[in-house]
Structure 1
């Protein structure tokens, strides 16, 4: 079996007399460069003593995969921290090297160039698993346009043609509404981040409220607060919903859940006696918070393994990997933060 020596991209480009970008394209996809440039890169590899065909499809069990997430701003909580840990550990145990990338909008192009630039025997990125939206979603679009196999894990639907595992937050909200109504709550509010997923979540909430409670679910009857990121935004959202006499709140982000807990404390209210709280999504250490938080969350182990398995298949199927589109429904995890309504 042939081996690749550790030769850098700059060495290959200099020896071949081509640019680093051309050398990178030749190594990543030899059909994207002219026959003349490809011949120069082949000759350079031979001069440098590199054996084998570096443009052969990489094996997923020896590849390097980029794990991309949006950068988390100050005061916010990463809702995918547990999923990232599981993905990293499982790829490591499968002999897949992982490059962690925090995407920022102002650095999308630079990050894309860095990930697509490969050297023979170096940490070539064979694919990417993109978790969450925002800048990570923008970077995913750039990488997809340039032919990198990737799969997105997110709670927003986009008609962008990118393979994805869709986390059905709208279904999670419906589960939360049904549980709170079963407990006896009729005045339920929704706290949601003001992002691209907000309209679908709000529509799903009002549809669930109308269907379960048999009400028109107007803005007055199904209160919604859209909040910016950070715990202080959660405090403001909670205070607004409490002013609307809500006995229960569904929070769609960890930062909002923490803000609601803080707001209740400021107002000398007790969760869950005075206000029930149910989170849609994963709150880190939800079982050790006081009170332990009930939440609608996902089986991250299954999500992670599915993403890794599909990533393997996509890499091995280059240049025409099959498109995938999974929907994952969350499960209700009951703890102590949601109880039948009490008089205030």
Structure 2
């Protein structure tokens, strides 16, 4: 492309911009490196949607001097630019190697619906060490105005930290997470403890009494563990001590899931509630190593979304959220905030998950 050779319209020198790697552009845009490369070298060889994603990513990364078309200044495109609705950032925590993104389906629905509404969306992976730079870029500190008009922040960890930075500076945003904080940030709260109640009730109804819980070691773990023990005590009428309601906290990654599963199997659990995809897959692998059959020897019920849960063997029973409803609520709220200019609008929804029964949970068998 003509502008990729160091010129901008009118033959002027390009503005100063930060050097970014192709992988960084592709990750921010949500496209493959090959697509990002073609969009930079030969814009007409990719679709208009892909081209727009790459241009928006360049603006977010502070390299807008490379981009073409509306929004080249780095500010959000407006209808006067021909850019349609203002750009919205979709922020998620970066997923480490070996982990499964529990919000991939939600992010996909959010992206598709925003594009369907002609809302420009840019994908941001929050990483603790880069959050300060990301915040300054999104807030437009270098060019006098925000690069994005608002943000939808999914998940916790580094994404939650970035949300706090942006909210403190007045950017309209809404969080979708399974940890509740009294921080005044508009939020859609995914009630995982309610999901655990549902999971415990179902497994007890099947006849299980020795039920274990596997959780990731994160900010939501204490609430999940407390909720699990309350459910066990209330439904089974037991004190629900550590011995009676076993819990294993695990770091991320499939191998951590295997270790957690092996510990719960050693504790003679006949059923396990897993609170993350990596833990579910780890439990399946651990059972296979020990030559145990799921669900005949060990029932498994997952709280949260596991990609392709219906096609793994066995198909996984889940307690899952209505992602389409969550996505639409988030989009409606962020658009209202942007239109009204009220970044601190009071939004506090609680979403309860639903039980989807498949083949991984059955009445206990002798083992």
TM-score, length-scaled by structure 1: 0.82
Number of equivalenced pairs: 297
Counterpart CA distance in 2 for 1:140 and 1:123 is 15
Partner of 1:113: 136
Q: Is the 8 A contact 2:90 2:124 kept in 1?
A: yes
Deviation of 1:321 after TM superposition, in Å, equals 4.8
Q: Is the 8 A contact 1:234 1:258 kept in 2?
A: yes
Bigger mean CA deviation after superposition, 107-116 or 317-326: 317-326
C-alpha RMSD of matched pairs (Å): 2.6
Partner of 2:95: 72
For 1:1-344, what aligned pairs fall within 5 Å after superposition? Answer: 62-117=85-140, 124-319=147-342, 321-344=344-367
Deviation of 1:159 after TM superposition, in Å, equals 1.1
Q: Which has the larger radius of gyration?
A: 1
Deviation of 1:320 after TM superposition, in Å, equals 5.4
Higher RCO, 1 vs 2 (CA within 8 Å, ≥6 residues apart): 1
Bigger mean CA deviation after superposition, 110-119 or 267-276: 110-119
Change over 3 Å in CA distance of 1:119–1:108 after alignment to 2: closer
Deviation of 1:123 after TM superposition, in Å, equals 9.1
Superposed CA offset, 1:88-131 (max 9, x none): 000000010001000000000011111111899x9930000000
Name the SS of the counterpart of 1:174 in structure 2.
Answer: helix
Partner of 1:25: none
Counterpart CA distance in 2 for 1:320 and 1:259 is 41
Counterpart CA distance in 1 for 2:167 and 2:251 is 29
Gaps of 5+ in 2: 1-8, 16-70
Counterpart CA distance in 2 for 1:249 and 1:201 is 14
Name the SS of the counterpart of 2:153 in structure 1.
Answer: strand
Counterpart CA distance in 2 for 1:225 and 1:193 is 8
Q: Is the 8 A contact 2:172 2:343 kept in 1?
A: no
Counterpart CA distance in 2 for 1:94 and 1:252 is 33
Counterpart CA distance in 2 for 1:169 and 1:154 is 10
Counterpart CA distance in 1 for 2:342 and 2:305 is 35
Name the SS of the counterpart of 2:149 in structure 1.
Answer: strand
Change over 3 Å in CA distance of 1:207–1:152 after alignment to 2: same
Superposed CA offset, 1:35-62 (max 9, x none): xxxxxxxxxxxxxxx9xxx99x999960
Name the SS of the counterpart of 1:314 in structure 2.
Answer: helix
Counterpart CA distance in 1 for 2:201 and 2:84 is 43
Bigger mean CA deviation after superposition, 252-261 or 310-319: 310-319
Name the SS of the counterpart of 1:125 in structure 2.
Answer: coil
